[in-house]
Structure 1
């Protein structure tokens, strides 16, 4: 008879995500995860598999949370250029409201683990492709609406925006001055106008 989980899986994922986000994958031990979740090792292994499996679930949960936030932002946008601005504003708010200056878990993962585990590389590539497609679509619509110039193709601007967001998320670990960060966003958006 299969065991029934007697814990809140969502809460455990949140607790484990916080540990991985703080320490990274390699510096996180199973004991760190046991301490954070209150579960014993066998419960963690039985419920999530390996440390890598748990990390992957945490990455997916973190990604899902951001995709939900972005979806909410897109619904508020007046037009495509405004949608791009609102996405940057979302990252700005998250950066200045991060008391531990941890940065983006996905960006941190890319720096630490991109080519160390095939499943992580595949996940990161899929995440990047999805986000690039979203940005390319927004730019193309913005060009049709007249809010985004046509000096570059939608794909070129999408790559530019994606790299700008990645850079923004990285510098936000050490720079938390809102005016400085807003200046980066303004400069990036000005390129599109």
Structure 2
């Protein structure tokens, strides 16, 4: 008879995510995960697989959490351009509130592991393609609403916004000056008008 999990999986993922976020994937040991989750090694392996499998579950959980937060933020938008502005405001707030300057787990993962492991590459590529598609839809609607210029295609602007957001979030690890970050976001958005 298979063993029944007697722990809160969501809580374990939260604790493991914090360890991966603090140390990065490569610097995190199984002992770090055992210590943080208070599960023994066999429970981790039986419930999540190996360290990489657990990391992927943490990334997916982190992604789901952010999608919910972003959706709530964008529900306040009056139009597509306003939605893009709110997106940068959301990331600015995240940067300012990140007192440990850890940055985004997914952005950090891209820097650390994008060329190391096929399953990570697949996750990151899927995440990137979804986000670029979302941004492309916003730009397309913004152009239809005459809020965003027609100097570039929706796909070109989506790629520009995606790379700008990645750069913005990475810069936010070292730049904690709110006014400087607001200026960066304003310049990025002005390109669309």
Q: Which TM bucket (shorter chain)?
A: over 0.9
**1:84 and 2:55 matched:** no
Query: What is residue 94 of structure 1 aligned with on the other side?
Result: 94
When the two chains are superposed, the root-mean-square deviation of aligned CA atoms in Å is 0.6
Structure 2 counterpart SS, 1:146: coil
- What does residue range 126-137 of structure 1 map to in structure 2 within 5 Å? 126-137=126-137
Other-structure match for 1:169: 169
Number of paired residues?
193
Deviations 1:12-43 (A, max 9, x none): 00000000011110000001111111111111
**Which runs of 5 or more residues in structure 1 are unaligned?**
none
Further displaced range: 69-78 or 151-160: 69-78
> Which consecutive aligned stretches of 4+ in structure 1 deviate over 4 angstroms post-superposition?
none
Aligned match of 1:34: 34
Question: 1: distance between equivalents of 2:134 and 2:184?
Answer: 21
Q: How far has the Cα of 1:74 moved from its partner?
A: 2.0
- Bigger mean CA deviation after superposition, 51-60 or 68-77: 68-77
**For the residues of structure 2 that align with 1:77 and 1:63, how far apart are their CA atoms?**
21
What do residues 98-129 of structure 1 show as CA deviations (whole Å, max 9, x unaligned)?
Answer: 11100011010001101211000000000000
Tell me the equivalent position of 1:71. 71
Query: TM (normalized to structure 1)?
Result: 0.99
**Structure 1 match to 2:121:** 121
Deviation, structure 1 residue 80: 0.2
Structure 2 segments unaligned to the other structure (5+ residues): none
When the two structures are superposed, what TM-score results if normalisation uses the length of structure 2?
A: 0.99
- 2:191: which partner in 1? 191
> What is the correspondence of 1:97-112 to structure 2 with a 5 Å cutoff?
97-112=97-112
Partner of 1:15: 15
SS at match of 1:101: coil
